[in-house]
Amino acid sequence: MATVPLVEYEDAPAEVRAVYDDIMATRQVTWVNNFWKALANDPASLKRTWESLKQVMAPGALDPLTKEMLYLAVSVANGCDYCITSHTAAARKAGMTPAMYAELMAVVGMASETNALVSGYRVEVDEALAKAAKG
C-alpha cells in the first residue's frame, strides 16, 4: 500500500493533467503508471521530475535501449522492485532481447561481486588507471 493516494486523471487538476498528457504522448501509451500518480500529490515535483526524465532519456549520444538498460542496471543495484519492473518492461519494449537481458544481468551480478571484493581488500587505484579514466 502506497503512503500517498494515487491521483487519477479524472480527479487531477489541470497542471497534473498536462503532465499526464505529455507522458502519454511522449511514450505513445494511453495510460499513466502509478509512479506518476503518486508524485502528482505534489504537482511541482511531478512536473520537475518528468521534465528531467524526459530530457535525460531522450535519444542523444546513447540510443534509447542503452539508456533503458543503464536505468535497469542501476535499479537492480539499488534493489528498487518497482523500478526494476518498470524498466525491465521499458527495456523490452525498446528492443532488449532475452539474450541481451541475460547478459545485462550477468554484468550486473559480476560488477556487484567485484565491487565488493575491491572495497573489501581496499585496493588502491593504479596511477595508470586514474589517468586513463580521465580521458
Interface positions, 42-81, toward a copy of itself (CB under 8 A): 42, 44-45, 48-49, 52-53, 55-57, 60-62, 66-67, 69-81
Under rule CB under 8 A, residue 27 binds a copy of itself:
no
Under rule CB under 8 A, residue 119 binds a copy of itself:
yes
Q: Are 7 and 16 in contact (CB under 8 A)?
A: yes
Judged by CB under 8 A, the stretch of 7-15, 19-27, 28-36 that binds a copy of itself is: 28-36
Of 9 and 35, nearer to a copy of itself (C-beta) is 35
Residues 6+ apart with CB under 8 A from 100: 69
DSSP-derived secondary structure for 9-58: GGG--HHHHHHHHHHHHHHT-SS--HHHHHHTTSHHHHHHHHHHHHHHHS
Under rule CB under 8 A, residue 95 binds a copy of itself:
no
Under rule CB under 8 A, residue 22 binds a copy of itself:
no
